[in-house]
Amino acid sequence: MPISKNRPIRSYVLRQGRLTKFQANGIKLLSPMYLIPFESNTIKWDNIFENKGKKIIEIGFGMGDTTAEIAETLTKSNFIAIDVHPPGVGNLLNKINEKELKNLKIIQYDAVEVLKKMVINKSLDAIHIFFPDPWHKKRHNKRRLIQEPFLELISKKLKKNGYIHIATDWEDYANSIINIFNKNEFYKIKNSNFFKKPSYRPKTKYENRGVNLGHKVWDIIFVKV
């Protein structure tokens, strides 16, 4: 069947990764407690979380170990972590349960759709995106998540002075991110030293892979004006 011209370009490929028994059990037993189903209604943060802390979304948590660590450290903030891959979802559900985290929930869906359909305008204090897929081949660059339409979308969702923190180990992607944010009137740069990692961000799995290949790491933070 020919691929429809209208099919949206996604920033991920859904692979049927094999689930460990632990991950599968996590999904089966813990989803009712910690997974928010995707729907066309907006998220009511105050009904979901016990505290009225900051509202932070993480896009693309991968296996989620870092996500759980951040939520464990920043106890006064609330986190909704989004990814599509079942093994990571299973792993993070187990982490939330083990660490008894009250400030972290998961949505298993395309984050672009979640932002469009489930997030109220001017409601987010922050967005974290750590090591987005670089799609480094020229012909794949169009699949990159962080492009102008995405900046337009999140500029609606962030509160004034809310921030977006992106970390990447791909120089070409880092430069493209910095350029498009600098050109956009809705953002101003927060950190001028991109090689200084904020203390709340532990090293991630993908980061370690990049560092082992000799890559530098950029932590890029822009604030919504």
Contact track, ligand SAM, 135-174, x by CB under 6 A: ----------x-----------------------------
Do the strands 124-130 and 218-224 form a parallel or antiparallel pair, or are they unpaired? unpaired
**Candidate list 46, 83, 133, 219, residue with the active-site label:** 133
Does the annotation count 46 as an active-site position? no
User: Of 112 and 124, which has the nearer Cβ to ligand SAM?
Assistant: 112
Which region among 49-57, 128-136, 174-182, 186-194 touches ligand SAM (by CB under 6 A)? 128-136
The reply on whether position 60 binds ligand SAM by CB under 6 A is: yes
The reply on whether position 133 binds ligand SAM by CB under 6 A is: yes
Tokens encoding 123: 């409601």
Which region among 16-24, 30-38, 39-47, 109-117 touches ligand SAM (by CB under 6 A)? 109-117
Q: How far is the CB of 207 from ligand SAM (least distance, A)?
A: 6
The reply on whether position 205 binds ligand SAM by CB under 6 A is: yes
The reply on whether position 69 binds ligand SAM by CB under 6 A is: no
User: Of 68 and 112, which has the nearer Cβ to ligand SAM?
Assistant: 112
The reply on whether position 62 binds ligand SAM by CB under 6 A is: yes
The reply on whether position 84 binds ligand SAM by CB under 6 A is: yes
User: From CA 156, how far away is CA 34, in angstroms rounded?
Assistant: 27
The reply on whether position 61 binds ligand SAM by CB under 6 A is: yes
Q: SS3 for the chain, per residue?
A: CCCCCCCCCCCCCCCCCCCCHHHHHHHHHHHHHHECCCCCCCCCHHHHCCCCCEEEEEECCCCCHHHHHHHHHCCCEEEEEEECCHHHHHHHHHHHHHHCCCCEEEEECCHHHHHHHHCCCCCEEEEEEECCCCCCCHHHHHHCCCCHHHHHHHHHHEEEEEEEEEEECCHHHHHHHHHHHHHCCCEEECCCCCCCCCCCCCCCHHHHHHHHCCCCCEEEEEEEC
Q: Which residues bind ligand SAM (CB under 6 A)?
A: 11-12, 59-62, 82-85, 88, 110-112, 130-133, 145, 204-207
Where in the sequence numbering do the catalytic residues fall? 133
